[in-house]
Every structure is written in C-alpha cells, then in structure tokens.
Amino acid sequence: MSYKDEITQDIAEVMTDLQVQPILFIGSGISQRYFNAPSWKGLMKKLVEMCPELSNKRFAFYEQQFREGNDTDYTQMASSFVEAYSNWAWGSTDPSITPFPDELFEDNAQKQDYIKFIV
C-alpha cells in the first residue's frame, strides 16, 4: 500500500470512528486564482470607490490610517467602513437609487449588513 493510500485510509477510519467531517482551511490564493476574488487591498479599494461617504478621499488616506510599520490592517479598515456604509444607506433621500434591498431597512437589520450586502 502506498503512503498516500495509507493516509487516505487512516483519515477515512478516523472520520468514521469519530463521526466527524473534516474542516478544510483554504488560503486566499485559491479564491483569488480560481474565483477572481480580490485581495484584501483590492476589496478595500473597491469599497472606498463605491461608497460616497468614503470616496471623497483617496485610498492612500485609508491605508495611512491603518498602517503600522510596513503592514496595513485591512480587517480594521473594513470595520471602520461599517459606519460610512450605514450612513450612505440611510442618507439617501430617494430609495429608488440606493443599491440596498428593502429588507435592510427593517428594524431587525444590523448596521454592518449594508457593507456585507455590497461585498
């Protein structure tokens, strides 16, 4: 039996014995390569361009705000955009031009739902 076959059999036995399903951890490279998903930076740039509450400043401004050393914390940047997206959604005087569906304006919707809808 080859090493690959032996490992495959071991994994199958563990899954059967423990009655569990495997959890696969897939890096961002697979989503970027096969699904054309943007990088964190690309996604943040797109979110800035789309939101009138954010697009009055160049993307470099937001990168500076969330840069520490040589690294930019894009997850913190995304969290900071929640307020801007909520303001954009609720600030529109003409509901026909908002990109957000009606259910996001119900009392059970969360503030972060607007940015989630866009993503």
Query: Which sequence spans correspond to the domains of the chain?
Result: 3-118
Residue-level pLDDT at 85: 95
Residue-level pLDDT at 8: 83
Q: Is the pTM of this model over 0.75?
A: no
Residue-level pLDDT at 6: 86
Residue ranges, the chain, pLDDT below 70: 22-35, 93, 95
Query: Which of 57, 53, 28 has the alpha carbon at shortest distance from 42?
Result: 28
Token readout for 76 is: 């913190």
Q: Phi, psi at residue 71, to the nearest 5°?
A: -110, 140
